[in-house]
Copies of this chain bind each other. A is one copy, B any other.
């Protein structure tokens, strides 16, 4: 067992013990699977839309927050801009999921504005990370990346250095970096891309891992490994999308720290 496997197992143990409460400001399509994946793994999901209530929760019992711009509207952007400042003041770590940034102009500008308040983690596909890092020419096709995740490693490092966040680039292989250390996670299954919201819900899982890990990099690695291993196990039982979606929740609920320590495919690059 290497250090990364050991740390990932410890994050899962703490997640089950501490049951972190995660506020997800996320898109309309994935709220249910986001809450269900978080509940399955051991967290407590909350979704809110009112800025005053968001502040109430951040100042009482929230342990982490996700901001996902998948179906961004102007009122929601204002709510998110206020929420990240409130989270920062309350010392609550937050995760940015810059869905389709680079393709759609409004959210690209809003995400740049959100980043003026430092997130603890940024999770995106290769196209999104490249676009957010400021490179020209990156494009995604809707929510699908047009680039392989490895193509975004340098952009991810630059983005981590500039923002202070851990960056998790997801794809066939996931890469987690804090700008200095970069770790490849090779768990996962192709069918995970055929169920709406698995990637988006990963952002809420990341926020839960942040509340239970010693560093944002450890949290990013644990997020990729825990979800990837659960996905592999569910896909081995059934790789058809409807049944797989139910089994993925089942596996997240029953995955043990031992399973994670043994199965996590984590290599420092």
Interface residues of A (CB under 8 A from B): 21, 27-33, 35-36, 39-40, 44-50, 52-53, 56-57, 60-61, 70-74, 100, 103-107, 141-144, 194-197, 238, 240-243, 245-250, 253-254
Contact = CB atoms under 8 A, between A and B. Distances in A.
A60 B48 CA distance: 32
9 contacts: A36-B242, A39-B195, A48-B71, A53-B105, A240-B250, A240-B253, A240-B254, A242-B247, A243-B249
Nearest to A77: B50
Contacts of A141: 21, 44, 61
A69 to B, nearest CB: 10
A268 B41 CA distance: 38
Nearest to A193: B39
B46 A242 contact: no
A222 to B, nearest CB: 20
Given A32-B33, A240-B249, 14 more contacts: A28-B31, A28-B47, A32-B32, A32-B197, A35-B197, A36-B242, A39-B194, A44-B141, A44-B144, A48-B104, A49-B72, A53-B72, A57-B104, A61-B142
A180 to B, nearest CB: 35
A32 B30 CA distance: 6
A30 to B, nearest CB: 7
A29 B27 contact: no
Contact of A50 (B29, B30, B72): B72
Contacts of A106: 50, 52-53, 56
Contacts of A254: 240
B249 A36 contact: no
Nearest to A107: B53
A52 B142 contact: no
Contacts of A253: 194, 240-242
Nearest to A254: B240
A195 B246 CA distance: 11
B142 A44 contact: yes
A60 to B, nearest CB: 7
Contacts of A27: 47
A15 B187 CA distance: 29
Nearest to A141: B61
B44 A73 contact: no
Between A36, A39, A103, the greatest number of chain B beta carbons within 10 A of the residue's beta carbon is seen for: A36
